[in-house]
Amino acid sequence: MTSVSPKKRHWLGICSPASNKTSRRLQHPRLAQCIASEGSAGETDSESLDLDADDVEMDEHTDKTQPRNVQTLPDELLALVLAQLDGQSLLTSAATCRALRALTFQRDVWKRLCLSQWPTLRTQLLPQLPGAPDYDLVRLYGGSWRRCFLEKHKREQRAEISVKIPQFASVEDMQDVDKVVSDTFSIGEHRFCLWIFPNGNPNEAQYKGRVLSVYLVLTDLAERAPNWLTCAVFSLQVDNARDPRRRLEWHSCLTDNKFHRHLNNWGVHSLGSLSMLRDSQQGFLTSSEGQTQPDTLTVSAQIRLMTITFRVVFEHDLRHHHGLGLVDFTSVAELELPFCCSLHDLVVALHCRFPEVLGHFKVDEVVNTTRVWCFNQPVVSGQALRPRKLLKCTKEEQDQPLFGRQLCDGVDIDAYSFCQIYVESNTASNNPTLDQLPGNFVDEKSPSPTTSLTPEGAFRKCHEDAFATLRYIMEGRHLGFICDSCGETDFTGARFNCVVCTDYDLCATCNAAQSREISHRYANVDGKWQRVYNFKDHKGCHAMREMLPVFYGYGNHQHQQEASEGYYKW
């Protein structure tokens, strides 16, 4: 008998009469192939295909050679059969054995099941975030449609509503209608409704009686906590029955999405002129029940709650990680806050979530004791993953949203609203004192100002001492740069770079001394920094841009603290 192709499913018939011998478990010939491939026909949904070794029972009479009455079924055909099942039946089939489980991870199948059960998943692309396709799927379920079905889309943060306004075409019937309030709808524990002013907002003189005004309103204010905060982006439309492409649309922006006790509604004063909307030739009106002439206007809205997920990294996370990279972000704690949260909101939430590390929140001391650094996005910046920027603000700006100010879109926060932060605090639990050494002992190991122009690395300058190198870097130095006036390397403070000359830099001291028009500069010749004379390319009229180093100001903060305590911490 010819061998059977491995791409075919083996259905074993009865090979021998019934026997009184006890049956035992053997490995199905398909299991070995599944263990090696861990795949399925078509595109899978990135889930584990592991199954226990005893998932399939086979009779001991099954011989290593194929029986005569074997029926074969290609994997592709079996996958098409499984694709016709409903979600629960598909999960039941996957639980039978590893062989069938491998064929139940087709992404298109689970996508079809999810879209048929939760229609809001059809419109995942947010107009406010055009570069983030499948926003809900990636953010809530890691990009897996199967996981979305298993969790029954319990994390849904989107809602749609449609409101019909009958007799809208009649000016006489609508002149006494001040406001149309839609039914209340919920997204999790948040409750919203629409306020529609068919004659314009009466509080806005320039719009009253001329346009259609629509607003999204957050309800149940009395049941909320004193300092509640909610963020949502939404889109408002006036449907056009004749040509859907001509519908009127308005989209809120990412910065105008903050709902709180002083502002519980957002919307648009003018969604369309009344003369145009009431014109039956424009196609915005439809016929209501019992009416022959079109007189009903349909207003719809799509709402999406917006949050930022902060992946929080502490000192102990950096110490415990021994693999590739600076830290394993899949194992760090996460903190989810409204998209419009401020730096003050973030710090308060960090203290409430991690009191054992940061201590309890204190209004007067939190600004001086808790510092939050933002990681860069390596894909965008092209730099190594590291804490890039210290998040700070003035007292007047502490209630301003982080997004668009301290957090730059695409640089500090990715398209799917994830942000990595490093949190440091002066509390003993977060910065434990492993040893206390006299200040003069540490000073002996500290790099002293050197006049050598050999381009040594920071590790060599610190006598190959890891702790001294770390402190040297954290002092806020421009590593690898040299001042073309005084020749100091790895200098601290601001660096002033000429926008005209190629690779011409001054330290803050030389720039303040107006040492701009000089006749020499420093260049790396055969591995050594050497002074080059008769340099006349740089002029005093050239503009100089100020550039701050990484960890700018960190060294002064640490030295002031150590000086006040009388010792250094390692």
pLDDT in tens, the chain (570 residues): 444 444 444 444 434 444 444 444 444 443 344 344 334 444 566 555 454 444 444 444 444 454 454 456 788 888 888 889 999 999 998 888 888 888 889 999 999 999 999 888 887 778 888 878 888 888 889 889 999 999 998 888 899 999 999 989 888 888 888 899 999 999 988 899 999 999 999 888 888 889 999 999 999 888 887 778 889 999 999 999 889 889 999 998 887 788 888 888 889 999 999 999 998 889 899 887 777 788 899 999 999 999 999 999 998 888 888 777 788 888 889 999 999 888 888 998 999 899 888 888 876 654 457 889 988 766 555 556 778 788 888 877 778 888 888 888 777 888 888 999 999 876 545 454 445 545 554 444 444 443 333 445 666 677 777 777 787 777 888 887 888 888 888 888 888 888 877 678 888 888 887 655 666 777 766 656 677 776 767 777 788 888 888 777 665 555 555 545 444 343
- Same domain, yes or no: 565 and 450: yes
- Closest among 276, 558, 464 to 285, alpha carbons compared: 276
Domain of 57 in residue numbering reads as 8-113
- Same domain, yes or no: 300 and 168: yes
- Same domain, yes or no: 314 and 265: no
Instruction: Retrieve residue 442's tokens.
Output: 């540490």
- Same domain, yes or no: 355 and 455: no
Q: Rounded to whole angstroms, how far apart are CA atoms 198 and 213?
A: 7
For residue 135, tell me if it sits in a domain. no
Q: Rounded to whole angstroms, how far apart are CA atoms 199 and 145?
A: 44
Burial class (CB in 10 A: 0-12, 13-18, 19+), 382: exposed
- Same domain, yes or no: 255 and 168: yes
Whole-number Cα distances in Å, 361 to 340, 354, 358, 514: 21, 10, 8, 46
Strands 180-181 and 190-197: antiparallel
Instruction: Retrieve residue 487's tokens.
Output: 């020749």
Q: pTM of the prediction?
A: 0.60
- Same domain, yes or no: 408 and 494: no
DSSP code, position 287: P
Judge contact between 42 and 79, C-beta under 8 A.
Answer: yes
- Closest among 384, 400, 390, 380 to 326, alpha carbons compared: 384
DSSP code, position 549: P
Q: Look at residues 304, 319, 352 and tell me which one is the last residue of a structural domain.
A: 304
Whole-number Cα distances in Å, 523 to 243, 457, 460: 68, 17, 21
Judge contact between 62 and 12, C-beta under 8 A.
Answer: yes
Q: Rounded to whole angstroms, how far apart are CA atoms 426 and 369?
A: 5
Burial class (CB in 10 A: 0-12, 13-18, 19+), 462: buried
- Same domain, yes or no: 419 and 457: no
Q: Rounded to whole angstroms, how far apart are CA atoms 421 and 433?
A: 23
